[in-house]
Amino acid sequence: MTTIDPSIGTDRARAIFDEELAGVASAAALQELRNRWMARSGSWVAAFMDLIARATPDQKKALGRGANELKKHVEVALADREAALSATRRPAGAVDVTLPGRAPRLGCRHPLSLVREEVGAIFSRLGYQVLEGPEIEDDYHNFEALNMPAEHPARDMQDTLYLANPLTPASYAPPTRGLAPRAPQPLTLLRTHTSAMQIRQMERHDPPVRLVAIGPVYRRDNLDLTHTPMFHQVEGLVVGRGITLADLKGTLTSMAAALFGPATRGDESARSGQAPLVRFRPSFFPYTEPSAEVDIRCIRCGGEGCPMCKRTGWLEILGSGMVHPAVFEYVGYDPDEVTGFAFGMGIERVALLKWGVEDIRLFYENDLRFLEQFGR
Ligand code: DAH
């Protein structure tokens, strides 16, 4: 940058200005140039004015004309350049349509939702009603009417989460039949299983009944590899004339085949003469008689024994049985007229087995690296 020196004359100064202006590329640089040339003091123009003030009357005329022309030239050139710069500036908020697009990230279904929907779809195809039902329950539906009286160990504070302030239900209609109290009971607990939905449905509807109820349940468990205080269950109930244990076995065998694939197909094994790939083990539940737990042949080792099946060759997937006559009495069904079967299965357990996941907590940690592995 040339030092300000008016003794070089206005023509030379003008050439210097033109040169400096040519190098200006931004509004800030233009402003700097303006200050350098036009400011009241310390600028080129100010320096020429000083020179004129100090000149002899003869010199003043010529100097004055030259200085005025320089000033006018600088003003016009600065204004032109300013207009040119603002014409090329992008207006605020402008969209650059030439930029490559940003693809929206696609989410994926949660593995528990996938199992939930799959189970719902299997049973809808079989003509079952798919229900949800309340998560805050009363003692009557969660325990008593399922043949678990007041002193039953399953009602222990160790296992059940009770409400500090029971709610008085406003929205639950009182049952229409059965031994259930006519007035709605205060809601005292978080349901410990979806079996409560068996009672809710039967006390409002005549047989036949064919339902699955899917949703969250709660237990006083600490978090570990296989336990969470909230998890999901699917409950099944079929009631009608002439329902037998054979119906229970057929239904649960085909459900296992649909959920876990051909490895567990009872029909295939029957055809090939192999040992059955689903087995029913005698068990006990207060609301079924007889009761059975259902195992599938280990999907990792095929039955040979591995750490996943604890070397037994079998994986337990659910509890089931023929509905206990006492339950029918609670809901006002005649146990001499109808029979039924019921089952309850953990959704998390199915997901753990189906995909070989080793820690149930992964389902709740919202780690996308885990969640993105299960397909859309
Ligand atoms: N309610 C049982 C549980 O939470 C599961 C169950 C077992 C449900 C047998 C049933 C049944 O309907 O018949 O472990």
| Burial call 301-338: b when 16+ CB within 10 Å, e when fewer | eebeeeebbeeebbbbbbbbbbbbeebbebbebeeeeb
- What integer pLDDT is reported at residue 271 of this predicted model? 46
Predicted confidence at residue 158, as pLDDT, reads: 66
Could you write out the DSSP letters of every residue in 12-55?
Answer: HHHHHHHHHHHT--SHHHHHHHHHHHH-TTTSHHHHHHHHHHHS
What radius of gyration do the chain's Cα atoms show? 42
Q: Whose CA is nearest to atom 7 of ligand 1?
A: 319
165 C-alpha to center of ligand 1: Å?
A: 27
Which residue ranges make up each domain of the chain? 6-88, 111-371
Using CB distances shorter than 6 Å, the residues near ligand 1 are 193, 195, 235, 285, 288, 319-321, 342-344
Work out which ligand 1 atom sits closest to the CA atom of 237. Answer: 12
Which of ligand 1's atoms lies nearest the C-alpha of 194?
1
pLDDT of 149 reads 87
**Strand 288-297 to 314-323 pairing:** antiparallel
Report pLDDT for 87.
83
In the prediction, which pLDDT does 334 show?
96
d(CA 57, CA 376): 92
Q: What is the pLDDT of residue 62?
A: 84
Q: How many CA atoms lie within 13 A of 37 on its CB side?
A: 28
Which residues make Cβ contacts (< 8 Å) with residue 65, sequence separation at least 6?
Answer: none
Ligand 1 atom nearest the C-alpha of 198 is 12
Domain 111-371, CATH: 3.30.930.10
What is the distance in A from the centroid of ligand 1 to the CA of 271? Answer: 31
pLDDT in the model for residue 265: 44
Query: What is the phi/psi pair of residue 152, to 5°?
Result: -65, 135
Phi and psi angles of residue 63, each rounded to the nearest 5 degrees, phi first: -60, -40
Could you tell me the mean pLDDT of each successive run of 10 residues in the chain, 376 residues long? Answer: 87 93 91 93 91 87 88 93 84 84 88 95 96 93 92 76 87 71 80 96 95 96 90 98 97 92 51 67 96 92 88 94 97 97 97 91 94 84
- Looking at residue 277, what is its pLDDT? 84
User: Which of 320, 322, 347 is the best mutation target for the ligand 1 pocket, counting ligand atoms within 8 Å of the beta carbon and taking the most?
Assistant: 320
Minimum CA distance residue for ligand 1 atom 2: 344
Residue whose Cα lies nearest atom 6 of ligand 1: it is: 344
- The per-residue pLDDT for 266 is 46
Distance 292 CA to ligand 1 centre (A): 10
User: Of the residues 143, 287, 289, 323, which should be mutated to test ligand 1's pocket, given the most ligand atoms within 8 Å of the CB?
Assistant: 287
What's residue 191's pLDDT?
96
